[in-house]
Amino acid sequence: MTQDLDRRRFITQVGGGLVASAIVPSLASASSWAGRAPLRIGVVGAGRQGRAILGELTKLAGAEVSAICDSDERRLGSGLRRASGAEGFASLNDMLGKRSDLDAVVVATPTPTHKAVAVQAIESGRHVYCEAPLAHTVEDCLAINSAARSAKGVVAAGLQGRSNPVYDLARGFFRSDSVRDLVSMRAQRHEKTSWVSPSRDASRYKELNWKLDPDVTTGLAGEWGTHQFDVFHWYTGRYPVRVSGHGSIRLHDDGRKIHDTIACTLIFQDGAALQYGATLANTYGGKHEVLFGANAAIKLAWSHGWMFKEPDAPTQGWEVYANRQQFHNDEGITLIAGATKLSEQGKLKDGVGLPNSSLYYALENWLGAIAGDSEVACPIGEAVRATAVGIAAHKATAQGITIDVEMPDV
């Protein structure tokens, strides 16, 4: 019923010539901090993702990185160089205890440590942004969810698709007759990298390379797949009930036990299937998701998006604003935020691609929710579900089996 209403509303907007402006999100800042004191933020974890977060926070109005916490002195120093004026701490207890003025905390530590850090930060009364996957076990996810239910601050999860302007735009098309009935889904993430952080210290090596530790990792399906599975959950409003898969080591034959290449199939209750593949051995195709419908296919690639209409699909009127791109034998309509205005200015091609990373928009959304200007794009409950799917997919690919997906009650 809801999807039928979405379709009728979409068609009505097309008839009025308002489709582009009606479903295109604004690229302006989600929060208005004029006249307000900046939000004092402590970032926990100064590894690769933590440093990326620091870089994006420095771009956001109203965000002030006041403290950085990391137990590794070199990483802490690297983080402090990215945030002028921030104070460094070696432990979360010290940071929360000595910086009572902190308004918010970002959790960017390794996945297996998320529960301890996130729960302590939430219970301290701060606003909290926790990176995804939410944790390495469903039990830890539920513990974070339980803490978030009684949180005094705004708690958000770092599943970035839900706050990505191109993905939000494409979702409007997906939920209309432009795509119509869902046929199938496909996604991949290909990178040529090893997931190895070198260290001469054996204990330090294990700590740094937790992604390759069978006792705590969620593998490619969990660490990467969780983010992409959530896109399909958000678009369809459904979750898979069964997953099968397999994995192998195709390049990095260095004694590791975690596969560097996987493939899995996620089956939904209505029979729709999502084919997912990930590898550390090849870059072709990068990271993207595709939803195939009876009227069109939508391809999403985080900074870009395209729609490929079927030859027999009806024309709906919004195509007048379209910028087209050729892909071998297929012509894709580029999904552009602000298409109407850009078209009127003769600058349609200037709008291709996002000016910032999807991480930027996720953090911006969190700040907007704290300011009361928007809702949290990814609440903790959705992160629990997506992470549970990622954990199940990892188990299936690691063991080469088919398992039922048990969706947590959140």
pLDDT at 14 over 50: no
Which one, of 376, 394, 406, 384, lies nearest residue 115 by Cα? 384
Q: How confident is residue 334, by pLDDT bands cut at 50, 70 and 90?
A: confident
Query: Can you spell out the DSSP letters for 98-123?
Result: H-TT--EEEE-S-GGGHHHHHHHHHH
| Contact (CB, 8 A) for 14 and 316 | yes
Cα three-residue angle 372-363-157, rounded to 5 degrees: 90
Helices (H) and strands (E) in the chain, counts: 14, 16
Q: Is 27 exposed, middle or buried (0-12, 13-18, 19+ CB in 10 A)?
A: middle
Cα within 13 Å of Cα(198), Cβ side: 1
Q: Average pLDDT in the 75-93 region?
A: 96
- Render pLDDT for 299-332 as a digit per residue (tens, 0 to 9): 999 999 999 999 999 887 666 667 788 888 888 8
Q: Which pLDDT value is given to residue 16?
A: 31
How far, CA to CA in Å, does 207 sit from each of 90, 138, 263? 16, 21, 27
273, containing H or E segment: strand 273-279
Q: Which pLDDT value is given to residue 372?
A: 92
pLDDT at 34 over 70: no
Q: Average pLDDT in the 97-112 region?
A: 98
Lowest mean pLDDT among 68-77, 270-279, 351-360, 374-383: 351-360
Q: Which pLDDT value is given to residue 265?
A: 98
| Contact (CB, 8 A) for 389 and 239 | yes
Tokens read off for 146:
């339980």
Q: Average pLDDT in the 190-214 region?
A: 93
Torsion of CA 233, 236, 15, 5, to 10 degrees: -120
pLDDT at 279 over 60: yes
Tokens read off for 230:
């959530």
Q: What percent of the chain is predicted at pLDDT more than 70?
A: 86
pLDDT at 110 over 80: yes
Lowest mean pLDDT among 106-115, 128-137, 288-297, 335-344: 335-344
Dist. CA 162–CA 169, nearest whole Å: 11
Q: Which pLDDT value is given to residue 99?
A: 97
Q: CA-based diameter of the chain, in Å?
A: 66
Provide the β-strand partners of residue 291: 185, 298
Domains and CATH numbers, the chain: 2-25+162-354+377-404 (3.30.360.10), 39-160 (3.40.50.720)
Q: Which pLDDT value is given to residue 350?
A: 55
Q: Outline where 209-338 has alpha helix (H).
A: 219-220, 226-236
Beta pairing, strands 39-44 & 63-69: parallel
Contacts of 109 (CB under 8 A, 6+ apart): 44, 45, 47, 50, 117, 131
Query: What is the distance, to the nearest Å, from the Cα of residue 125 to the centroid of all Cα atoms in its chain?
Result: 25
Residue with tokens 């990298």: 193
Query: Which pTM does this prediction carry?
Result: 0.90
Query: Can you spell out the DSSP letters for 62-102?
Result: TEEEEEEE-SSHHHHHHHHHHSTTPEEESSHHHHHHH-TT-
What's the sign of the alpha-carbon dihedral 317, 318, 322, 325?
negative
Q: Which pLDDT value is given to residue 97?
A: 97
DSSP one-letter code for 192: B
Q: Average pLDDT in the 243-268 region?
A: 98
| Contact (CB, 8 A) for 336 and 342 | yes
Amino acid letter for position 35: G
